[in-house]
A = this chain, B = another copy of it.
């Protein structure tokens, strides 16, 4: 159908996505992006009025990519809703591991780098967090019967995001997965504590 060529615009967004997550927004120059994408400045400024508009496109791409690029691969083989959450965390762990603890969550990095972001940028960062959180919430919602009555799936999902981002930050700072693994283990302890003690009848 609308199968296009390797459109310049897309190459620019992809190059920017890569470089922003490698070096941050401020430390990535427009010429870095042009070199990586094999484009000229005129093309970039034909597609985007400004470097910041390119950032907006990148954040839109992340937002739209949560499901197909992140969750789909992470959840392919996992059925249990709570294990899906830990499979997702393990996916971040893998990214850290293969990059020697330098690649973390690109959204989190941008969120802390941009101290006074223009409203549309901040909104898209928040949208990304919110999208992620909602998918995790759905897992907890689906597993609700196994949790204690007061358990709040929305709050647990928010807490999961909190733990993931804090854990990634420490992994990158220490250049070690220790704190990350400990945080995930603690999160599991937390969820176990929220679980209804199954009557030790069946197989125990």
Contacts and interface: CB of A to CB of B under 8 A. Distances in A.
Interface of A: 22-24, 26-27, 102, 104, 108-109, 111-113, 115-116, 122, 125-126, 129, 155-156, 158-159, 161-167, 169-170, 172-175, 179, 182-183, 185-186, 189-190, 193-194
Q: How many copies does the complex hold?
A: 2
Contacts of A193: 189-190, 193-194
Contacts of A194: 189, 193
Nearest to A113: B113
B186 A156 contact: yes
Contacts of A175: 122
Given A26-B24, A190-B193, A172 B112 contact: yes
Given A26-B26, A102-B116, A158 B183 contact: yes
A109 B102 CA distance: 15
